[in-house]
Each structure stands twice: as C-alpha cells, then as structure tokens.
Structure 1
Amino acid sequence: MFEYIKGNLAEITPSNAVVEAYGIGYNLNISVNTYSKIHQKKEVILYLHHVVREDAELLFAFADKVERDLFRLLIGVSGVGPNTARIMLSSLTPAEVATAIATDDLNRIKSVKGIGLKTAQRVLLDLKGKVDGDMAGGGALSGVGSVARDEAQSALITLGFAKPNVEKALDAILKDDASLKVEDIIKAALKRL
C-alpha cells in the first residue's frame, strides 16, 4: 500500500522515528541499522512496510530497499513476526543476515534474541536460494557516553526486554568499553539478553 515516505525527521530513537510529511507526523518502527544511517539527517526518504493487525496498524521503515526486502522475506517465515525480524536486523546488518542465510550459518541466526533452534532452521530452509549473500547494508554512527546508554536502554525496553535485565547488560557492556556507539551497545546487549 505504501512505498516510501519523504519528509522531515522530527524525532528519532534507535527503535522509532517520527517523520513529518505534509503536516502529519508518522510514527515509524525502525531497526538500529536504519537508525545509524538516518539519525543525523534533517530530511529523509524511508521505504515502508505496512502491517495490519486486529489491534493496530504499524509502519516499519527502512533506509534502503535491500533491508526492507530482507525484512519482508524474514516475516514470511513461520515463527518470525515483524518485531523479531526488526530485532534480527538490529542485531546483525542486512549483509550479515544475508551471508548467514546464504552460508547456512545456523549459529549466527540462532544468536539473535527470540530465535530458537527450530526457527533458525526454518529461516535457513525457507530462505535458502532467495537471499543473495552479497546484499548490502550496515553503517554505524552515533553519540557517546550516558546519552548513548540512555538511548540504547530506551530502545531495548521498547523492543520488549525487562528494564532490570537491560540495565544489567548495559552495565557489563559499558564497563568494558564506555565509548561504544549506540548501535554497538544495542547489538552487544541483544547478544546478552
């Protein structure tokens, strides 16, 4: 139904963006990879995927068509919903997900929070041959320090993780390296949670 949205980036967190287009603010669910590509921009073009459920209508937005196409393939797998696919594309870059599928890297897929052995096997089986290992993606930009921690914590809680578990994971991660970027903190936390 919707192909893309072009407008001013009014608000952004690592899990959501508000884009104003023609006086209307659209709340968009984004991955950490998309966040890293757009968070410093004033005007953006984001490719959309519209999800209609009984209780909500959601818009998922992506910085490029490759990530959106991979998202659509992932949600087509039984047991992988939109939020799980978004966590997958936040934990790994689209290129890493595509490479893992192309090379049958079960452990890489299983390392994503919310993906168990059976779901990982289903992802590899269903998407083998549909995903090209050369798919592009990635990128990393962001702030440092307590602002990065706060943004990472907010994003992880929004993704459904319990606040005490998130805080514990962030403490351990930032104890080792306090200068990590928001995306790196979230990716490390997703591996621990």
Structure 2
Amino acid sequence: MIGRLSGNLIEKLPPQVVVDVNGVGYEVDVPMTTFYQLPALGQKTTLFTHLVVREDAHLLYGFASKEERETFRQLIKVSGIGAKIALAVLSGMTADELAVAIASEDLKRLSSVPGIGKKTAERLVLELRGKLATGSNLAVPGGLPFAATPDDKSDIVNALLALGYNDKEAAAATKGLPAEVTVSDGVRLALKNLMKG
C-alpha cells in the first residue's frame, strides 16, 4: 500500500498531477480541494494517498490531509459511490463542508454534485451520519497558483469533464470567467457557478 508521496510536482492537469519521487513519476488523481493547495511546478509537495487496485489498473488518489483521505475512504464504502464520484464530491466541497451537509441532511447541496442524485444523497446521509469528523484544517501553507497559459480555458473545461460534468455544463460554467484567470482559480470559480445552478 502506498500511503504517502513526497517529491517534486512535475505536472498539473486537473484532476491529475504527477509527483516525481526519486526519479519515479507517480500519476495521482486529486480532488480540486487538494489541487487548489498545490505549490507551483517544480516545488516539493506531500500527498496522503489511497491506492485502488482493479483488474485493469492500479489507481492512486492523493489528498492534502489525512482527514481528506479518510473522508474519501468513507465515501467509497457507500454503496454506489466509486472513486470518481468520491473525487467529484470532494472537488465540490471540503471534507468539513461535506460533514456539515451530512449532519444537517442537506440533500440539495449533496445532489448538486455530478453523479449524485436524490436517492444517492439520501444514502450518503444514511450511511455516513456520525462517521465524518469536522474541524479538520485542510489548508496547506505555500500553495501558490501556477501561471496562466493560453490553453487555460480548455484545461478548465477538461477538468470539469473529468469530474463528471457534461460539455454543456462545463461550457456554461466557464462562460463568464475572466480572461486572465489561472486554471486552479478558474476551476474553483466554475465549480461555484455549477453549485449555484
């Protein structure tokens, strides 16, 4: 089991990043809550990881904190919630916000995540009530936005598509974004737009 990675961040293509650990590049899928906190390319980073072994692939998921990883692990235990949907949930809200939504039975907030319908939201509340801790501090000092490139708009759209939104939703969410926005800020703003809708 790979429980943690520490190394240089060499690629950022949301929701995937590549961390170089002593010459080996690990591809890691991260929720946007973690992605926002990553340092600039070439900088040192540490991710708490969860390895999923399937017949056709070994998939590594990374998180900024142990609490966020634990929330992910609780999510994938819920019937009908796979790793992709769990990542989408943690991209739309922090672990603390999810815990509050579960505790307050906020089905509307939960079902605003792509892949989560009303029935799945009800199942989340039923199966996770009392299992998610609040008060974790997910902020990581030194998280810097990376420089914008001309392809930022398409990177933002691709990140939203990877999180389960369709072309129409992704296009609508990125429509009003400022031209000079970075990918991480753009994805954050686009997710906020989608949560409002």
Does the 8 A contact of 2:99 with 2:132 survive in 1?
yes
Does the 8 A contact of 2:159 with 2:187 survive in 1?
no
Q: Quote the Cα distance in structure 2 between the aligned partners of 1:192 and 1:147.
A: 26
Q: Quote the Cα distance in structure 2 between the aligned partners of 1:102 and 1:145.
A: 41
SS, match of residue 80 in structure 1 = coil
Report the equivalent of 1:62: 63
Report the equivalent of 2:98: 97
Does the 8 A contact of 1:151 with 1:182 survive in 2?
no
Report the equivalent of 2:108: 107
Aligned length: 190
Moved over 6 A (4+): none
Calculate the TM-score normalised by the size of structure 2. 0.84
SS, match of residue 71 in structure 2 = helix
Q: Report % sequence identity.
A: 36
Which of the residues 170, 174, 184 maps onto 1:170? 174
SS, match of residue 112 in structure 1 = coil
Report the equivalent of 2:13: 13
- Structure 1 residues not aligned, in runs of 5+: none
Q: Quote the Cα distance in structure 2 between the aligned partners of 1:116 and 1:141.
A: 34
Q: Quote the Cα distance in structure 2 between the aligned partners of 1:138 and 1:146.
A: 29
Q: Deviations over 1:124-183 (max 9, x none)?
A: 111111112333336886366965433311212333444454224321x42xx6676224
Q: Deviations over 1:46-71 (max 9, x none)?
A: 00000111211100001111110100
Does the 8 A contact of 1:16 with 1:27 survive in 2?
yes
Does the 8 A contact of 1:48 with 1:68 survive in 2?
yes
Does the 8 A contact of 1:113 with 1:190 survive in 2?
no
Calculate the TM-score normalised by the size of structure 1. 0.86
Q: Quote the Cα distance in structure 2 between the aligned partners of 1:164 and 1:129.
A: 36
The CA deviation at 1:93 is 1.5
Higher helix share: 1
Q: Quote the Cα distance in structure 2 between the aligned partners of 1:59 and 1:38.
A: 17
Q: Mark the CA change 1:67 to 1:88 in structure 2 (over 3 Å): closer, same or farther.
A: same
Q: Quote the Cα distance in structure 2 between the aligned partners of 1:148 and 1:138.
A: 24
Q: Quote the Cα distance in structure 1 between the aligned partners of 2:115 and 2:150.
A: 27
Does residue 152 (structure 1) correspond to residue 156 (structure 2)? The answer is yes
